[in-house]
Amino acid sequence: EVQLVESGGGLVQPGGSLRLSCAASGFTFKSYWMHWVRQVPGQGLVWLSRINSDGSITNYADSVKGRFTISRDNAKNTLYLQMNSLGAEDTALYYCAREMGTNNYWGQGTLVTVSS
């Protein structure tokens, strides 16, 4: 069974940092592009970043470029999102997802709250 389990969310002060993890199981993790998407509760989905199967290609939305870094450890079947210089606008539920088209699958998300 395919599983994506996000962790690492929580309360962080403005200007702080947080690293999210997404543990993958039930499929050959190293074969897929992976993505991070966030959603403010009650609002829409926002694509943040993607990384290719071996980690050599990364892309970011303008809203997080220079602040967030996506990475992966295929030996550990884990995807990461390092988030720096966090502001209130980054408060959201963060999802990891496998692919955006065919073979798409989503985790249940981890909540990040940026507040003093």
Partner 1 sequence: QSALTQPASVSGSPGQSITISCTGTSSDVGGYNHVSWYQQHPGEAPKLMIYDVTNRPSGVSNRFSGSKSGNTASLTISGLQAEDEADYYCTSYTSSDTWVFGGGTKVTAL
Contacts with partner 1 by CB under 8 A lie at: 35, 37, 44-47, 50, 59-63, 95, 100-102, 104, 106-109
Of the pair 66, 116, the CB lying nearest partner 1 is at 66
Q: What minimum distance in Å lies between the beta carbon of 37 and partner 1?
A: 8
DSSP 8-class letter at 18: E
CA dihedral of residues 38, 10, 71, 58 (deg, nearest 10): 30
Of the pair 35, 72, the CB lying nearest partner 1 is at 35
23-34 burial, b for 16+ CB within 10 Å, e for fewer? bbeebebeebbb
Cα separation, 9 vs 113, in Å, equals: 8
Q: What minimum distance in Å lies between the beta carbon of 85 and partner 1?
A: 19
Of the pair 44, 75, the CB lying nearest partner 1 is at 44
